[in-house]
């Protein structure tokens, strides 16, 4: 039996006269991996912001497990792990101090062990006492991944997570995402990278000018046709 974990019902978001999202509707079941593609300004990041309750939709509703997002308590946000363009890290604190702070904010128990485990996973354990300001872009992004997964969220939202990553960091991120997907985490990833997005996802969406113009299971979209479909939809 499957359940609709996330359901968007005609989500519209306006910034003044600009409609960033136009009646976006879809649903995801638990354990699905949705990759959202689209050109710049398509509304992908706005959609993630609304899903993570960073901003409210102008109209429409979002449901998690059948409950309106607006009716859920603040504790519910603990189900989200968000990886963004920004690292969400304090430059003047060490990697460990950053993770410890977020661990406390999320009310985690046994924080030290969790920090060590996640830092080993992103291959930054040796740098755990170093200031974040000394980290390269790739290391920052890996630490950002560690921060977002420290509390073992059920729903992972990623906004262009591969931007600025070197091959090694990209490889680590892909492996982590595959592992999370295998562990039945629900993942929504916004990306411009068609190949990586297609490889990882179980569902594919294409957005253009605030609308979902394509939404299907990956099994229905042959890899060799995907780029053509994408270009046809966004052009």
**Would you tell me which residues interact with other proteins (CB under 8 A)?**
49, 52-56, 74-78, 80, 82, 84-93, 97, 101-102, 104-107, 131, 147
Query: Closest distance between other proteins and the C-beta of residue 139, in Å?
Result: 14
How many CB atoms neighbour CB 92 within 10 A?
Answer: 9
Q: Which CB sits closer to other proteins, 58 or 193?
A: 58
Query: Closest distance between other proteins and the C-beta of residue 55, in Å?
Result: 4
Q: Which CB sits closer to other proteins, 2 or 74?
A: 74
The residues that bridge with 28 in the sheet, in sequence order, are: 6
Q: Which CB sits closer to other proteins, 80 or 226?
A: 80
DSSP-derived letter for residue 86 is: S
Q: Which CB sits closer to other proteins, 85 or 168?
A: 85
In three-state form (DSSP H/G/I as H, E/B as E, the rest C), the secondary structure along 149-203 is: HCCCCCEEEEECCCCCCCHHHHHHHHHHHHHHHHCCCEEEEECCCHHHHHHHCCE
Query: Closest distance between other proteins and the C-beta of residue 77, in Å?
Result: 4
Q: Which CB sits closer to other proteins, 80 or 214?
A: 80
Taking the C-alpha atoms of residue 213 and residue 203, their distance in angstroms, rounded to an integer, is 14
Q: Which CB sits closer to other proteins, 147 or 196?
A: 147
Contact 197, 44 (CB under 8 A): no
Query: Closest distance between other proteins and the C-beta of residue 168, in Å?
Result: 22
Query: Closest distance between other proteins and the C-beta of residue 179, in Å?
Result: 22
For residue 212, give every residue at least 6 positions away whose Cβ sits within 8 Å of its Cβ, in sequence order, or none: 24, 25, 26, 205, 206
Query: Closest distance between other proteins and the C-beta of residue 117, in Å?
Result: 20
Contact 227, 37 (CB under 8 A): no
Tokens 């977002």 correspond to: 148
Q: Give the CA count within 13 Å in the CB-facing half-sphere of 154.
A: 12
């Amino acid at each position: 039996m499957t359940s609709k974990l996330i359901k968007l019902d005609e989500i519209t978001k306006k910034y003044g006269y600009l409609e960033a999202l136009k009646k976006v509707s879809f649903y995801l079941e638990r354990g699905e991996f949705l990759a959202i593609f689209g050109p710049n300004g398509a509304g992908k990041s706005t959609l993630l912001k609304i899903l993570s309750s960073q901003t409210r939709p102008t109209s429409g509703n979002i449901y998690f497990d059948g409950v309106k997002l607006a009716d859920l308590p603040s504790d519910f946000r603990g189900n989200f792990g968000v990886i963004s363009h920004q690292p969400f890290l304090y430059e003047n604190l060490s990697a460990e101090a950053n993770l410890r702070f977020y661990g406390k904010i999320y009310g985690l128990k046994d924080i030290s062990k969790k920090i060590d485990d996640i830092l080993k996973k992103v291959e930054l354990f040796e740098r755990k006492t170093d200031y974040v300001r000394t980290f390269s872009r790739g290391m920052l992004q890996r630490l950002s991944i560690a921060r977002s997964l420290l509390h073992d969220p059920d729903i992972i939202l990623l906004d262009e997570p591969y931007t600025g990553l070197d091959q090694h960091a990209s490889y680590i991120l892909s492996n982590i995402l595959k592992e999370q997907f295998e562990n039945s985490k629900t993942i929504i990833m916004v990306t411009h990278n068609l190949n990586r997005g297609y490889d990882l996802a179980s569902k594919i969406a294409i957005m253009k000018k605030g609308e979902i113009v394509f939404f299907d299971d990956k099994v229905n979209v042959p890899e060799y046709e995907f780029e053509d479909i994408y270009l046809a939809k966004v052009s």
